[in-house]
Chain A
Amino acid sequence: MLRELVMLPAGAGLMAFFVRSHGWRRGLLVAAAVAHLGLTVRAWVAPPAVGGFWLGLDPLGLLFLTIVSVLFMACAVYAVGYLGREDHQQEKADLEEGLLFSNQPEAVFTGCMLLFLSMMSLVCLSRHLGLLWVAIEATTLTSAPLIYYHRHHRSLEAAWKYMLICSVGIGLALLGNFFLAVAFTPAGGVTPALGLDGLLTATVGTRGVWLKVAFVFIVVGYGTKMGLAPMHTWLPDAHSESPSVVSALLSGALLNCAFLGILRVWQVLVHTGQADFAQPIMIGFGLASMAVAAVFILGQPDYKRLLAYSSVEHMGILALGVGLGGAAVFGSLLHAVNHSLTKCMLFLTAGNILAVYRTKECGKARGLLRVMPVTGVLWIAGFLAITGTPPFGVFLSKFIVLSAAFNSGHPVIGVVALALLAVIFVGLCVIVLRMGQGERSDAVPEAVREPLWSMIPPVLLGLAVLALGLWLPKPLETVLQAAARSLGGGL
């Protein structure tokens, strides 16, 4: 069953390259997403044994796998409508500069989407740090063509930066994995295999230093992919230039996968009692990410970059929560769920706005509530959700993280984080409310049809975030608790 989670989308992805009919190929995309979601649900109902040497499913992996699966389902449905609107034959005028460009063939797009899903599942299922590394690098490779879907020079630039920066970063993480292996080598003995089960029962002996070095390399390496400042530079470009449905997956699913890479090593650190050393590092990266996001969100002219910087902020909150430990770890994992659902909804909504207004400038996309009532409401609801306004789920998870900061005797960190969140709230508030209100500009048609395909996924995601704020289902709470405990925290 674990193998199917990886092989099924991979097989479907390879098939998609050869299917000629658009209808069948889009059907294949949705069918694979449904099957993947079905397998994930089955893993909730009847949890498989934690697993073998290579693949396994522990609560932490299950949590992130579920995020990936749910988000992909939403994006697959949305993509059907999106691909229907896009023309793959003709060259068309670029939205920003009026240059002509063509799209990638749809088969490449669909195939890469499915392979991307397969590799993200592999990240969630890996029980071997070497395999985990291979899978994380493979997510970069399968998603780079997606960013370059609209073949013009800006998306090319974004894809190039993404490939080069992330590959170099992940290369450093590989070096970190080698150091980790050295840390567990007994004197004169054989280096252990990097299986997680073996590492979580092994002892370090006298080589604790190597473990610390390993953690630094891995945080910098996977942190590049996760979008922690100051290694986040690829993120706004890639998120703003790729199609919105891809941005939604990058932000909601991919960044979490890199986070999982860091968490796996965190588990090893907790087991060996070295987490004290790593906590300030995570807190530092967390606060730095929030600060950078705050600076760039204020007065941001491009609403997709706005969402991208918001992702940097939330990755910062995740890192901060793990660094604080205790209840904050639980909050951080819950926040990963909430952020993914909300950000996916926001990016899909941004895609709908872009399709009608044909501009990414906040200043030109005005009067959303009049022109597109449903989208306008979604956009403002999404803003309220992402900034942590009650009763949305993000409020709950942010509250847990911040209250843990004060309760665990870190009032300064709590105050700084609160101040940054306030700045971000104001920055988003000004931009989003202006877009919602205001007069319709003449460039926008008066009566806009809002297609059902592109409305249903964001609406459902928004309702899910709302529901999570009002009521935390018992099974989810159990899994979150178990996952947080494996990271040395928990309520």
Chain B
Amino acid sequence: MTSWLDIVMVLLFLTDLGLLGSSRLGVYVRLAAVQGVLVGVLPLLVQHTLALETVAVAAGTIAVKSVLFPWLMARIMRGFDDRRERQPYLGYTVSLVLGVLAVGAALWISRRLPESGAGGLAAHGFLMPAALFSIFTGLILLVTRRKAVTQVLGYLVMENGIYVAGMVLVPESTFLVELGVLLDLFVGVFLMGIMIFHIQREFDHIDTDQLAALKDWGGEP
């Protein structure tokens, strides 16, 4: 099992770096879909005994994160003329360098975490760093990209990281709560998708820096 786990971990790191370095919205969506599969199969690889509930959560996660969301995003993007992230607030090279630094930070923090007592899982040295790196990547995407689609994907990547962290820290999580979290995520991204649709119609593009009418001084007449 461990070798499979290693492969999944490496792929998780690579998808994060890929997200930081690419400019095409289509690539973003595909990488996020791959990541959805990766975090979806994780619980199957880590759990020693396969309970029905584990399989159900895994199937649900994969269905939502790597089938439904990519389909939704692709549908939204059908109307776009411009499918690239042009002029992000932070260039791709800088983002990648920042990403590498984030990997370092994730490893460093994971080493210094006080003993978590979660047993065998935390013993796998790369789960926690991978989780933290995904959270960092999500935050970087949220802050430095202009397109609304990229920001939603940033939120998704962050959520993936939190999901993996939860798997490490709380292996015996409650089925009902996991379903609730997944449902919230699903409805949340769905609503964001609808909003992007409206932003596109209202502004003819989805650059969120145009969403700047609301402020306290000097904005409106």
Contacts and interface: CB of A to CB of B under 8 A. Distances in A.
Given A130-B180, A187-B117, A296-B216, A160 B208 contact: yes
A96 B220 CA distance: 9
Contacts of B171: 191
B216 A185 contact: no
Nearest to B135: A175
Interface stretch (B80-88, B94-102, B181-189): B181-189
A210 B199 CA distance: 41
Contacts of A313: none
B28 interface: no
Contacts of B208: 160
B191 A157 contact: no
Contact of A240 (B183, B191, B214): B214
A134 B213 contact: no
Interface stretch (B7-15, B16-24, B158-166): B158-166
A182 B195 contact: no
A472 interface: no
Nearest to A189: B117
Contacts of B220: 96-97
A307 B135 CA distance: 35
Contacts of A148: 195, 198
A194 B118 CA distance: 15
Contacts of B117: 182, 185-189, 207
A167 B155 contact: yes
Contacts of A152: 202
A128 B177 contact: yes
Contact of A158 (B158, B172, B188, B214): B214
Interface string B141-162: 0100000100110010011001
A88 interface: no
Contact of B195 (A131, A156, A179, A236): A156
Interface of B: 114-119, 135, 139, 142, 148, 151-152, 155, 158-159, 162, 165-166, 169-174, 176-177, 180-181, 183-184, 187-188, 191-192, 195, 198-199, 202-203, 208, 211-214, 216-217, 220-221
Interface of A: 54, 96-97, 128, 130-131, 133-134, 137-138, 140-141, 144-145, 148, 151-154, 156-161, 163-164, 167-168, 171, 174-175, 178-179, 181-182, 185-191, 193-194, 207, 209-210, 236-237, 240-241, 296, 300-301, 305
Which 8 A-B residue pairings sit nearest by Cβ, starting from the closest? A130-B177, A134-B180, A157-B211, A178-B169, A237-B214, A137-B184, A181-B170, A185-B117
